[in-house]
């Protein structure tokens, strides 16, 4: 004897699965996109600064007056701004997965032009990275600040 589903089950099961799929899609679209590449540049920059590798850290910057036009300038700036950080606190501004899909569909630049990465430790330290025309992320500025 073979078991058979009643004929009325497929439609409710299909409707339930479709609602579940739509719900998961909406949750994903509203979820925050984590700017991993920008975050990695900020983290690598701080690791190099804390290790005293000012040349290596300077290669990750836009080489402006805020971070220093030379590695020696960066060393001087870091004496005023750098503190020991222990963890990443946040990134901003918020960008959802849906916003990225909308930008891509409209033919707009998908990446945010600027991302601020906040770290916590002995002080609060913000690292601002900018998306360059070549598609890479570079440190524009960094500074310790009050909470």
For the chain, 147 residues long, give each residue's pLDDT as a single digit of tens.
676 666 666 777 778 888 889 998 889 889 888 899 999 999 999 999 999 999 999 999 999 999 999 999 999 999 999 989 999 999 999 989 999 999 999 999 888 999 999 999 989 999 999 999 898 999 999 999 886
Q: Which two tokens stand for residue 80?
A: 């005023």
**Interatomic CA distance for residues 8 and 13, integer angstroms:** 9
**CATH number of this structure's domain 33-145, picked from the four choices 3.40.50.880, 3.30.70.3450, 3.40.50.2300, 3.10.450.50:** 3.10.450.50
Matching residue, tokens 């630049």: 109
What is the pTM (predicted TM-score) of this model? 0.80
């Amino acid at each position: 004897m073979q078991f058979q589903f009643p004929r009325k089950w497929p439609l409710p099961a299909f409707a339930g699965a479709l609602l579940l799929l739509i719900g998961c899609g909406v949750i994903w679209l509203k979820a925050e996109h984590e700017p991993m590449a920008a975050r990695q540049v900020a983290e690598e920059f701080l690791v190099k600064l804390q290790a005293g590798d000012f040349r290596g850290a300077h290669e990750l910057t836009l080489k402006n007056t805020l971070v220093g036009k030379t590695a020696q300038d960066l060393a001087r700036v870091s004496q005023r701004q750098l503190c020991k950080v222990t963890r990443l606190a946040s990134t901003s501004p918020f960008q959802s997965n849906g916003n990225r899909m909308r930008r891509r569909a409209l033919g707009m630049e998908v990446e945010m032009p600027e991302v601020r990465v906040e770290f916590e430790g002995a002080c609060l330290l913000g690292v601002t990275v900018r998306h360059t025309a070549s598609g890479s992320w570079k440190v524009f500025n960094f500074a310790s600040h009050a909470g």
